Structure 1
Amino acid sequence: MELPEIPREPEDAEKLICVIGAGPSGLAALKTILDTHHFKKGLWKPTVFEARQEVGGVWVPAAPTDNPPITPLYESLTTNIPHPIMAYTSFSFPPSTPLYPKAVYVRKYLDAYAEHFQLKQYIKCRTSVENVERDTTSERWKITLNTGKTQFFDLVIVANGHYRVPRYPDVPGSKEWLAKGKASHSAWYRRPQDLGKTVLVIGAGPSGQDISSEMAKYATTVIHSVTDSPLGQTGNIKHRGRVSELKNSGEVLFEDGTSEAGVDYCIFATGYKMSFPFLSEDIIKNQAQPTIPPLPDDLYNSTYAVFPLGKHIFPLHPQTFPSTSLVFMGLPSKVAPFPLVEAQAQMIVHAFAHPEVLDPTIESVDIVTRYEDLLSKHQANTNLVAKNWHAFEPMDQFDYRDDLYRFSGVPITSQEWEKEAYLNKGILRQFWVNLERNGVADDWVRGVGEGGIQEWVELMRRMIKEARDEGVLADPSARL
């Protein structure tokens, strides 16, 4: 395969950079761009386009009036990892912040990050990107905005997030329940309310766990459906396996042959689809990724993954644009997100300045190797390969971050305390819940962090030790 030749330009050429989205990924990208000598010399000129009225992305609350809602943020949401390992490495949460903060703390943190690094002057709020296309004449990206204006850019950083378009399970009867108002997606959920005596919640993720617990305070019975879950009951929450059919009568059938009658309402906490409505089919194909090898020349969005991307960032083998001129941020899941996108941003700006560092052959081998490993792990189920393509095993995220920094020439490596805290996040969370229940959580964190990050490290290690001494175990239903 013959790859497009990357034109060499003078080192002092002016470049315009477009960032789509001012959520956690877009903010990290902008801050990293402003740190470069290219920006400080006036050569790189970034603009961030944000559809909403302020920075913060998914962490900015909004009523569920849009279809789909502009954010799925519900009122009780807290982080599912401790903030010292969730935070950007360049900017800590304020001292005394609850170890597992509510969304309002994260929103204020992101706004403070933008203020501290003077990012807001480069962000155009209430401005959305409607279309991105390659202009073959100028060999630049033509961006069409909701204002009707068009602008041209040399680099486009896609950081629009992936918690907007609801994913619904392919379950017989689900469309009928939705049409009759007997079901909704968790994207519309904000707080528990009376939805009937018996409520079904489908989904094993954080929202499914939270909503099940909250709805149990209003419903007589909550049925929580999780794939391969053993039958059981905790209080008035019944644990059931995968749903096989939702019947018009209100009966729910499960794959294990059991059933539940008289279900009044169903909440689908079944996740979200990756969506890039501003990218046309000639840039990314919205269909299942093909089996490999060989790697395809085209880029695919299966709604679970973008494929194939070098380092989960760079399109490989595009025929009409350089791989380092259109990039994707924040796709990996089951990770500590903010420090990960910081590392991605460093790799992006380095590869944009030095495109030769991205070796398509090495990246192709890495992709094929990962594909074969996932194929073996999931018994040759290509659908599961796509679903898990960007999902990282716990420690892989740290190797990934270190790899990106190494390629970028940045002397940053992940710390052992980060790994220790991440591996013990379940015990830490349960211990924190116990502290909150006993009314002493604020006492534990009061003043912590005033002397630097090491105070948070010492606190978490103390919590882990005391939890083990007291025999505290991670709640099996905890949001991990």
Structure 2
Amino acid sequence: MDLPTIEPESTITDASKTICIIGAGPAGLAALKIILDSSQYRAEQWKPTAFEARGCVGGVWVPAPPTPTDDPPLTPLYDSLTTNLPHPIMAFTSYSFPPSTPLFPHAPVVHKYLEDYADHFHLRQHIKLTTTVDAVERDASRWKVKISTGEILHFDLVLVCNGHYRVPRYPNTPGVAQWLSSGRAKHSAWYRRPHNLGDIVLVVGGGPSGTDISAEMRTAARTVIHSLTGAAREDIGNLKRRGRVSRFGENGEVTFEDGTTETGISYCILATGYEVSFPFLSKDIVHPELPPPAPPLPSELFNSTYSVFPLAKHLFPLQNAFPPTSLAFLGLLVKVAPFPLLEAQARAVVQAFANPATLNPAQEAVDIITRYEELRAEFGDDQLAIMEAWHRFKALEQFDYRDDLCKFAGSELSAIWSGQDGYMKVPQWEKDAYCNKDLLRKAWIKLEESNEAEGWVHGVGKNGPHEWIDLMERLFKWAKEKGIHVEELDKSKL
């Protein structure tokens, strides 16, 4: 495949703007696609280049086995991973999954989808594979970007799209360091399959990975202990549900927050999340520490490893060292449907880059302080807890956020996206499906176990996306008829 040509600076006119995209995973691909939609690109005024460290596009969805030279692994994908969202609400709004795709597809299907997305929108000519961005520095009025070929390039806009599932986050629980150094514990980033890990396996963490891994481990281990913050003691078959670990002791003994212990643990999988990391950004651009309490907002940018603060619209750095519309961080939000949100974020970035005056720093500062006060009302003066929650949206907040981004992007970009005047709001069916994603997934697993799943989706989508909406509605009703339920099921209905 031909690599994109980076034009010498002498050939760039005053009207031309160069754009650097760091990463060609979902965020980078969405950003590149939206840039190519812009009138500035069509007028040959914008020249985007995406740099991807790996040999193909797809980011975290590209499989890779753990190797001694990759510490941490290039991806945390385990062999059995499926999406935890139905693909109609996970997909980019501009490109659906193919007809007959399983409702909760396995990781290779998602990777193929991202490859197809890149092909469909002719993105590859703008992507440099096997090329790492080593350093980004501010140089007068532009960004100086050093890449792994040794070249130093200059850009007007930098989009940070490197994802946040690479650097493992480890708990500071007493004794965990000894378990890690002795090989008795490992972060879930290294997990691939449940075999040969011992008779009694402890899984720490209640997120999607921890839940999936603890369920899968039950097929291979004699006993699985699943530690979740705030969980009540419960034994179900070979599964023991326990609260937070308070100490990792010797000889496979663990003490929990309620004072009880478990002994004889063979191995521990730490599904404890990942750190937000930007190794290419120097400390004078973003400080690697907790920000000071607000108000007032700091005049510099901080990375607490949970969040970047302060960012206007969770995208643009509000600080004094460079224009906030010249650098943007995509994909920091968690507990969201990511792909369509990335498109909306990219549209907002394109609008702000093309028309910097549309971003009102004073109003954005007010919005940030408002959110800060809401979180402080919940967490008190615990600055770490506030920063942990900063990019974590509750329930339907993500959809209001997407609506706001699309409104900010303006009618021109939204017309390209939706084919209609004004801006597109997130439809109600998408909100309902998201609220009931756990029930839909549990019902889908039942269909797979009974070999009925393929029949349910056969041909669905050939006549348009509405067929997927109809399928999810039928699956929701089927689940209720069969008495399938999940804990804390949202009451909204499809």
With the length of structure 1 as denominator, give the TM-score of the two structures: 0.95
Give the alignment partner of residue 82 of structure 2, picking from 71, 78, 83.
78
**1:454 aligned to which of 466, 474, 479:** 466
- Correspondences of 1:166-205 after superposition (within 5 Å): 166-205=168-207
- Of residues 157-166 and 463-472 in structure 1, the stretch that sits farther from structure 2 once superposed is 463-472
- 2:377: which partner in 1? 376
2:351 is the alignment partner of 1:345 = no
How many angstroms apart in 2 are the aligned matches of 1:366 and 1:439? 50
Give the match for residue 423 of structure 1: 435
Paired residues of 1:430 and 1:475 also in contact (CA < 8 A): no
Quote the residue 2:295 is aligned against.
293
Alignment of 1:51-66 (within 5 A): 51-65=53-67, 66=70
Q: Which amino acid aligns with 2:192?
A: R
**SS at the partner of 1:324?**
helix
What are the within-5 Å matches in structure 2 for residues 211-360 of structure 1? 211-316=213-318, 318-360=319-361
Amino acid paired to 2:42: K
Q: Which residue of 2 aligns with 1:160?
A: 162
Deviates more, 1:33-42 or 1:464-473: 464-473
2:99 matches 1:95: yes
| Counterpart secondary structure, 1:227 | coil
Find the residue that maps to 1:38 and give its secondary structure. helix
Give the equivalent residue in structure 2 for 1:128. Answer: 132
Q: State the AA in 1 paired with 2:462.
A: E
**Structure 1 residue 443 and structure 2 residue 455: aligned?**
yes
Amino acid at match of 1:333: V
* Matches of 1:233 and 1:302, distance apart in 2: 37
CA contact (8 A) 1:12 1:43 kept: no
User: 3-state SS of the aligned residue for 2:18?
Assistant: strand
SS in 1 for 2:325: coil
Counterpart amino acid of residue 113 in structure 1: Y
Partner of residue 41, structure 1: 43
Deviation at 1:46, TM superposition (A): 0.3
Map of 1:23 onto structure 2: 25
How many Å separate the matches in 2 of 1:164 and 1:265? 22
Report how far residue 377 of structure 1 moved: 1.4
Give the equivalent residue in structure 2 for 1:4.
none
What residue number does 2:209 align with? 207
Helix, strand or coil: the match of 2:365?
A: helix
Matched, 1:105 2:112: no
Q: Percent identity?
A: 58
Q: Which amino acid aligns with 1:89?
A: T
Please state how far the C-alpha of 1:195 moved relative to its aligned partner: 1.6
In structure 1, C-alpha distance between the alignment counterparts of 2:126 and 2:379, rounded to whole Å: 44
Q: 1:46 is paired with a residue of what secondary structure? A: strand
Letter in 1 for 2:203: V
Contact 1:429 1:474 in 2 (8 A): no
Deviation of the 1:12 alpha carbon: 7.2
Residues 14-39 of structure 1: per-residue CA shift (max 9 Å, x gap) = 00000000000000000000011100
- Which segment is superposed worse, 382-391 or 47-56? 382-391
Equivalent residue for 1:463?
Answer: 475
Cα displacement (A) at 1:88: 0.3
CA distance in 2, matches of 1:199, 1:475: 25
Say whether residues 1:68 and 2:72 are aligned partners: yes
Deviations 1:58-100 (A, max 9, x none): 0000011110111101110000010000000000000000000
1:32 corresponds to: 34
Which segments of 5 or more consecutive residues in structure 2 lack a partner in the other structure? 1-12, 415-422, 490-494
* Counterparts of 1:467 and 1:257, CA distance in 2: 39
Q: Which amino acid aligns with 2:475?
A: M
| Whole-Å separation in 1 of the counterparts to 2:354 and 2:135 | 25
Between stretches 424-433 and 118-127, larger displacement belongs to 424-433
Question: Could you tell me how far apart the structure 1 residues matched to 2:218 and 2:379 are?
Answer: 34
1:380 and 1:455 map into 2 onto residues whose CA distance is 48
Task: Give CA deviations for 1:284-325 in whole Å, capped at 9, x if unaligned.
Answer: 000012110000001000000000000000000x22210000
Matches of 1:460 and 1:215, distance apart in 2:
29
Whole-Å separation in 2 of the counterparts to 1:379 and 1:145: 43
SS in 1 for 2:153: strand
Deviations 1:442-478 (A, max 9, x none): 000000000000000011111112222222102679x
Separation in 2, partners of 1:249, 1:230: 25
Matched with 1:8 is none
Q: Which residue of 1 aligns with 2:426?
A: 414
Distance in structure 1 (CA, Å) of the matches to 2:237 and 2:63: 31
Count of aligned pairs between the two proteins: 464
* Aligned AA (2:381): A
Output the CA distance in 2 between the equivalents of 1:195 and 1:34: 48
Indicate the larger mover: 396-405 or 465-474.
465-474
User: Which residue of structure 1 lines up, in the alignment, with residue 395 of structure 2?
Assistant: 394
**C-alpha distance in 1, partners of 2:460/2:14?**
46
1:152 counterpart SS class: strand
Q: Which amino acid aligns with 1:87?
A: A
Q: How many angstroms does 1:210 deviate by?
A: 1.1
Contact 1:431 1:472 (C-alpha < 8 Å) held by counterparts: yes
Against the structure 1 CA distance between its residues 476 and 250, is the aligned structure 2 distance closer, same or farther, given a 3 Å change threshold? farther
Separation (CA, whole Å) in 1 of partners of 2:488 and 2:315: 33
Choose 108-117 or 213-222, whichever is displaced more: 213-222
Question: Cα deviations across residues 243-293 of structure 1 (Å, max 9, x unaligned)?
Answer: 011112211001111100111111100000000000000000000121100
Aligned AA (1:309):
L
What SS does the aligned partner of 2:443 have? helix
Question: What CA distance in whole angstroms lies between the structure 2 residues aligned with 1:388 and 1:241?
Answer: 21
Letter in 1 for 2:275: K
